[in-house]
Amino acid sequence: MLKTIRKIRREAFFLDIHLSKISKSYSDSNTHRSLFKDMDARFESGSFNVIIGRSGVGKSSLLNLISGIDLPDRGKILMDDSDLTAMGDSGRTVFRRKHIGFIYQFFNLIPVLTVRENVTLICELDGKPRKTYQDRADQLLETVGLYDRRNDYPDTLSGGEQQRVAIVRSLVIEPQIILADEPTGNLDLETGRLILEMIAQLTQKNGQTLVMVTHSPEAVNYADRVFRVENQTLVVQPSLYSKD
pLDDT in tens, 98-154: 889 898 878 889 999 999 999 998 777 777 776 778 888 998 999 888 999 999 999
| pLDDT tens digits, 162-175 | 988 988 898 888 88
pLDDT(73) > 80: yes
Distance CA 60, CA 54 (A): 11
pLDDT(37) > 90: yes
- The residue among 131, 190, 122, 196 whose CA lies nearest residue 164 is 196
Average pLDDT over residues 11-22: 75
CA 16 to chain centre: 14
- Binned at pLDDT 50, 70 and 90, residue 189 comes out as confident
Task: Give the pLDDT of residue 13.
Answer: 46
The CATH superfamily of 39-239 is P-loop containing nucleotide triphosphate hydrolases (3.40.50.300)
Task: Give the pLDDT of residue 23.
Answer: 95
pLDDT(14) > 80: no
β-partners of residue 171 are none
CA 218 to chain centre: 17
Percent of the chain with pLDDT over 70: 89
| pLDDT tens digits, 216-229 | 888 888 899 999 99
Q: Where are the beta strands (DSSP E) in the chain?
A: 17-27, 32-43, 48-52, 74-79, 82-83, 100-104, 177-181, 209-213, 225-230, 233-236
What's the number of CA atoms in the CB half-sphere (13 Å) around residue 116? Answer: 16
Task: Give the pLDDT of residue 6.
Answer: 32
Residues 6+ apart with CB under 8 A from 83: 76, 77
Distance CA 141, CA 147 (A): 5
Higher pLDDT, 190 or 10: 190
Distance CA 205, CA 117 (A): 24
Task: Give the pLDDT of residue 64.
Answer: 93
Average pLDDT over residues 30-43: 89
Task: Give the pLDDT of residue 1.
Answer: 42
Helix axis angle, 159-171 relative to 115-125, nearest 10°? 20
